[in-house]
Amino acid sequence: MKALKEAIEKYGVGIGTEVVKVDSFLNHRIDVALSTEMGKAFYEAFKDDRVDCILTVEASGIAAAMTAAQAFGNIPVVFAKKGDHRNVGNDVYTAEVYSFTHQKLNVIRVSRKYLEKGMRVLIIDDFLANGEAIHGLMDILNQAGCVLVGAGVCVEKGFQPGGRNLRESGVKVVSLAIVDAIEDGKIILREG
């Protein structure tokens, strides 16, 4: 997606060889107009997949999930909660997710009442690196008997294996921008 790639080129910062920092517009301060465009792009990619609901994980996936849900005509967004939230209760599906950014294992939770059996669910997240977050969400969808229609991510890091592994296992993955490498702080985006 052109506008996202331009924003990454203009404002993104590469840290080391693996981390893309885009917190001036994507996951700390949010450029709402850009997020709205990303939501529309996810709609275009998945509009024929009969999506009932969007699933993401707190916190950074929520903005893109919401604008996508609006583009789909205000379908519900469910976000998995991290950590031990007493207010989620015990009637939950859980999965373990290793956090790439925080380098620790999180338990994510979704209340059972928000995922109905047979629901067609689109997963949205801000980043796809090793695929841990998306696998955790897929695990929860399996437990709930939901149908995964695919995964939409704002930024995929193509030099990490998450996207490739998901596609090889048959998941429809749509990334709005793919980073091929980080070289001396510069983010190298995939053409096309």
The CA distances from residue 86 to 21, 89, 142, 187, in Å, are 32, 6, 24, 40
Whether the bond between 59 and the residue before it is cis, its omega within 30 degrees of 0, is yes
Task: Give the torsion sign (CA, 54, 103, 108, 96).
Answer: positive
Choose, by CB under 6 A, the member of 100, 137, 141, 150 that binds ligand 5GP.
100
133 binds ligand 5GP (CB under 6 A): yes
DSSP code for 146: P
CA–CA dist 116, 85 (Å, integer):
21
132 binds ligand 5GP (CB under 6 A): yes
Sheet holding 173-183, edge to edge: 92-99, 104-111, 77-82, 53-57, 120-128, 147-157, 173-183, 186-189
14 binds ligand 5GP (CB under 6 A): no
Site string for ligand 5GP, 43-82 (x = CB under 6 A): -----------------x----------------------
Minimum Å gap between C-beta 162 and ligand 5GP is 4
- Cβ atoms of residues 72 and 52 within 8 Å: no
Amino acid at 29: R
Q: Which stretch binds ligand 5GP (CB under 6 A): 42-50, 108-116, 121-129, 141-149?
A: 121-129
Choose, by CB under 6 A, the member of 72, 162, 175, 177 that binds ligand 5GP.
162
20 binds ligand 5GP (CB under 6 A): yes
19 binds ligand 5GP (CB under 6 A): yes
108 binds ligand 5GP (CB under 6 A): no
Which residues in this chain contact ligand 5GP in the complex, by CB under 6 A?
Answer: 19-20, 27, 60, 100-101, 125-133, 157, 162
